[in-house]
Amino acid sequence: MRFRHRAVAGFATLLLPLAGLVGLASPAEAATSATATYAKTQDWGSGFEGKWTVKNTGTTSLSSWTVEWDFPSGTSVTSAWDADVTSSGTHWTAKNKSWNGTLAPGASVSFGFNGAGSGSPANCKLNGGSCDGGTTEPGDSAPSAPGTPSASDITNTSVKLSWSAATDDKGIKNYDVLRDGAKVATVTTTSYSDTGLTAGTDYSYTVQARDTADQTGPVSGARAVRTTGGTTEPPTGDKVKLGYFTEWGVYGRNYHVKNLVTSGSASKITHINYAFGNVKNGQCTVDDTYAAYDKAYTADQSVSGTADTWDQPLRGNFNQLRQLKAKYPHIKVLYSFGGWTYSGGFGQAAANAAAFAKSCKAVVEDPRWADVFDGIDIDWEYPNACGLTCDTSGPAAFKNLMSALRTEFGPNYLVTAAITADGSSGGKIDAADYGGASQYLDWYNVMTYDYFGAFNAQGPTAPHSPLTSYAGIPQAGFNSADAIAKLKSKGVASKKLLLGIGFYGRGWTGVTQAAPGGTATGAAPGTYEAGIEDYKVLKNSCPANGTIAGTAYAYCGNNWWSYDTPSTIAGKMTWAKNQGLGGAFFWEFSGDTAGGELVTAINDGLN
């Protein structure tokens, strides 16, 4: 669990009963015009951070303030700052400190708290009156916050925004659209197209609802948007933000390199792993040559807006990646070899590591696309252990292979590896010398997902990407925190570890309980494979209704799914930064929404 600490004297531990409070504000104070608004500022799965803001909207000074609200059973405040917070059952009361009770007209003050549970406050009162500045009559409430806007149809000069509706007991009148904090439009629908923007520029959008009494509610979450075009590279921070682009996605999934542009994702990542090259006869080789460098793109399908010709020397994904790098020069691309299906060839490759490395260099630096790739990624599942097949090359084979690759590629190329996240005692991390090999690598992509799923058809249901352990977890050590801790204990530097995020869920059917740990009869139906479904589908077909161990789960009908959401990703990114990790990576782009909301969550969380 992540806790918020403040050095100021306002930090309070919740020990006092409500009976210990002084009385509520006097009637004269209650008549003073003031508002109290709430926002959930962080959510890390096992808990959250909330903030109340009290504002004096009247014409006379406010000498003190007391905010009251109800939480549903199971939700509570665990610590607070800048206010004295106490409770009686599910009713909570926050009173100003001695130094922040006086508010001049137009002034505001905020206090915050850490909470447990997933509920939201209700029945708010400020100094005995309505928190929206109105009377205490039933129904006189300000609107809720609208949903965080999504962005689509992003061009050099425009973007389309849409959001889920706010709620209000008297009805919503309209919405204010704010760009970088300034209102740019007022609309009556839940969408808006903003035009006249500057190419290659970052913007931030929020939305605020207004009810029929003209009361405004809290603003929504912010959506970052970068328009296409321009020459200025976007700020990416010092953390790696890497996504896998699958070679085969151009077929049934109809996902192409240009989708990284239209979704806004290209401006928010630092690296792409192109997956996968094959490993045959102990050598690296291109797998699908048609998708890789022969498929012709029309002008509207192409990143550059120019159609491929029949006689140009390079087409396909490689040419599209070249065009992407021209538009977004900050992006580095690595060619990833292996993966679940093609890892069977690594045992033979390890027998002559130098020859393998030489073959990989020849593929990555083929003169036709030598400018496309900035390095190589090895996805061996798993050295000296079992994946689709079992490897018996010994604990030193992986280190030897990485050493040969670094020798062959030299210091100016990226050399990375996707590795197991099995943190159990005697598990896959213990089977190979990941600590010794790390000296040759820029970073490890630690595959902190697929811990549990319908490959165990009868369950128990469990999150496939738990951040931490929890009571009832089916296998000890099968969580991100234990995996990262074990790799650190083997001498791998924190900055060489990237946390893995799945842009998909794993699920069971025949489940009779919503909570994790239930039995099942098999894999839940999936678009491409039973038991697996993209986030972009699950967010609508089976919305998350619970969290455990820092990730989300959903129970709908008799199906049970687990997957990460923007909220749980935010919590994981906070955890990764607190651990000093080098960043995060994800599998894979096409599971995200058309507006790239999961990529946005990773980018926002690591910045």
Mean of pLDDT values over 522-527: 97
pLDDT-derived band of residue 436, with 50, 70 and 90 as boundaries? very high
**Domain shared by 363 and 400, yes or no:** yes
322 in any annotated domain: yes
**Domain shared by 565 and 423, yes or no:** no
CATH of the domain at 218: 2.60.40.10
pLDDT tens for 97-118 read: 988 999 888 888 999 998 888 8
Sheet with strand 108-116: strands edge to edge: 12-13, 76-81, 108-116, 48-56, 34-43
301 in any annotated domain: yes
Is residue 138's pLDDT more than 60? Answer: no
pLDDT score of 46: 67
Q: 44 or 387, which is more confident? A: 387
Omega of the bond leading into 455 within 30 degrees of 0 (cis): no
503 in any annotated domain: yes
Q: Are strands 414-419 and 375-379 parallel, antiparallel or unpaired?
A: parallel
CATH of the domain at 544: 3.10.50.10
**Domain shared by 579 and 496, yes or no:** yes
CATH of the domain at 16: 2.60.40.290
2 in any annotated domain: no
pLDDT tens for 462-507 read: 999 999 999 999 999 999 999 999 999 999 999 999 999 999 999 9
pLDDT score of 44: 66
Element (H, E) at 345: none
**Domain shared by 118 and 187, yes or no:** no
68 in any annotated domain: yes
pLDDT tens for 383-434 read: 999 999 999 999 999 999 999 999 999 999 999 999 999 999 999 999 999 9
**Domain shared by 430 and 458, yes or no:** no
Which of 52-56, 371-375, 520-524 is least confident?
Answer: 52-56
Cβ within 8 Å of residue 377, ≥6 positions away: 273, 334, 335, 336, 337, 414, 416, 417, 418, 445
Residue in 114, 68, 112 with CA at minimum distance from that of residue 90: 68
Mean of pLDDT values over 315-341: 96
Overall number of domains in the chain:
4
pLDDT score of 260: 97
**Domain shared by 253 and 326, yes or no:** yes
**Domain shared by 408 and 286, yes or no:** yes
483 in any annotated domain: no
Mean of pLDDT values over 436-443: 97
**Domain shared by 504 and 569, yes or no:** yes
pLDDT-derived band of residue 203, with 50, 70 and 90 as boundaries? confident
**Domain shared by 393 and 502, yes or no:** no
Q: 238 or 267, which is more confident? A: 267
Mean of pLDDT values over 266-274: 97
**Domain shared by 175 and 104, yes or no:** no
DSSP string, 253-302: T---THHHHHTSGGGG-SEEEEEEEEEETTEEE-S-HHHHHT----GGGS
**Ramachandran sector of residue 468 (left: φ over 0; alpha: ψ -120 to 50; beta: rest):** beta
Q: 269 or 138, which is more confident? A: 269
Q: Which of 96, 130, 164 is the last residue of a domain?
A: 130
Cβ within 8 Å of residue 37, ≥6 positions away: 52, 53, 55, 131, 142, 217, 218
CATH of the domain at 274: 3.20.20.80
pLDDT score of 532: 98
pLDDT-derived band of residue 49, with 50, 70 and 90 as boundaries? confident
Q: What is the pTM of this model?
A: 0.64
Q: Which of 226, 255, 271 is the last residue of a domain?
A: 226
pLDDT score of 128: 83
Mean of pLDDT values over 362-367: 94
Which of 102-116, 199-213, 438-452 is least confident?
Answer: 199-213
177 in any annotated domain: yes
pLDDT-derived band of residue 337, with 50, 70 and 90 as boundaries? very high
Mean of pLDDT values over 533-539: 98
**Domain shared by 302 and 432, yes or no:** yes
Tell me the pLDDT of the chain averaged across its residues.
Answer: 89
Query: Which amino acids are annotated catalytic?
Result: 381
Residue 364 to residue 176: CA distance in whole angstroms: 50
pLDDT score of 241: 97
pLDDT score of 133: 63
Q: Which domain holds residue 326?
A: 244-447
Residue in 428, 459, 467, 479 with CA at minimum distance from that of residue 521: 459
Mean of pLDDT values over 194-219: 84
pLDDT score of 18: 31
pLDDT score of 13: 32
Mean of pLDDT values over 367-390: 95
pLDDT-derived band of residue 8, with 50, 70 and 90 as boundaries? very low
Q: Is 103 helix (H, G, I), strand (E, B) or coil?
A: strand
**Domain shared by 330 and 352, yes or no:** yes
Is residue 308's pLDDT more than 80? Answer: yes
331 in any annotated domain: yes
Q: Which of 447, 481, 499 is the last residue of a domain?
A: 447
| Percent of the chain whose predicted confidence (pLDDT) is above 90 | 69
